[in-house]
Amino acid sequence: MIPVWLEAQMRRLRAAFEAGRMPHALLIHEAPGAGGEWLAYWAAQLVLCAHPERAPCGACVACGHVARLQHPDLALLGLQERSTQIRIEQVRELAADLALTAHQGGYKVGILSPADSMNRFAANALLKTLEEPPPRTLLVLVASVPSRLPATILSRCQRLPVHSPSRVQAVQWLTATHGPADWQDALAVLGDAPFIAATLDPATIAQTAAEMRRELEQLAGGSGDPAGSAERWARSEPALRLTCFENWLTERIRRGLLGEGAVAELRASAHSGASGLTIRGAFELLDGVRELRASLDVPINRGVALEALLRRMAPRATA
């Protein structure tokens, strides 16, 4: 099933291809889990399809090979096992592949995802290919945080934004492609990120969210174990757990701001003797959680970083 929220981007790419104006470099700026890679593979089918007049047909041998990621003129570049960065050697191999003549006399396609994980040397190597692309080459970069990419690369790519779908659209697509499940509850935890939800068990999402709520309430009350929780969370689904953490903080902030004691709490939080997690403290902690989520692909000690955040939740003793 085609994700309906990507139809506008698909029409734009098809129109460019039919008019002979397909860009040589495309940057898909996706909201996490919104389907940026799916759109990249669709673009590959578009230019590699054996029937350009109705591409992508989805039925020819070329479309089938792309769907199975086995097309000889399609090169994929991503994070290697246990690596948090795309390295210069990988980009050089991709450039050498794209410089070869296409096996079927048409396009050569390279897909880089997540492109914003390239280190500085890899990005510089890619720039050479972007400056002098071989003819009939399509290079597709998929990134959630394109600001991590050098301006020299951004300026040489045509940007195509992919926004999160509505909750209704996400649930309908998940149900059609993965069968009935508690997708509504799963997306309530993950946000409107259907391609992330599709990789997880909805029951596991709900169970993890409930477990996180219990532990966070205990930690905020001073009865939890910050070191033990941090160690477990760092080992098991850290991205999901940080999402749950963020949601819990957001809910707590919302309740506090709507409550009668919000103004008094904000005033109290300015004093060092304040105890518990204040609204101001929750906002500061929320920034820390989001920063850690954004840096999960960076080689850091997640357990230590998590423990530092959790210790900020503990009630402070008053004199």
Q: What is the pLDDT of residues 251-260, one digit of tens each?
A: 888 877 655 4
pLDDT of residue 253: 83
Total length of the chain: 319
Q: What is the pLDDT of residues 47-102, one digit of tens each?
A: 999 999 999 999 999 999 999 999 999 999 998 876 778 999 999 999 999 999 99
Tokens read off for 152: 């020299």
Q: What is the share, in percent, of the chain residues with pLDDT greater than 70? A: 91
Which CATH superfamily includes the segment(s) 4-163?
P-loop containing nucleotide triphosphate hydrolases (3.40.50.300)
- Please state, in angstroms and rounded to a whole number, the distance separating the CA atoms of residues 268 and 259: 15
Assess contact for 174 and 198: CB atoms under 8 A: yes
Predicted TM-score of the model (pTM): 0.80
pLDDT of residue 297: 66
pLDDT of residue 295: 73
Q: What is the pLDDT of residues 140-195, one digit of tens each?
A: 999 998 998 999 999 999 999 999 999 999 999 999 999 999 999 999 888 889 99
Residue 138 bridge partners (DSSP)? 109
If one counts every other C-beta atom within 10 angstroms of the C-beta of residue 99, the result is 13
**Structural domain boundaries of the chain?**
4-163, 200-311
pLDDT of residue 103: 87
Q: What is the pLDDT of residues 96-140, one digit of tens each?
A: 999 999 988 899 999 999 999 899 999 999 998 999 888 999 999
Q: Decide if pLDDT at 5 tops 50.
A: yes
pLDDT of residue 255: 78
Mean pLDDT (whole number) for 196-220: 91
Q: Decide if pLDDT at 264 tops 50.
A: no
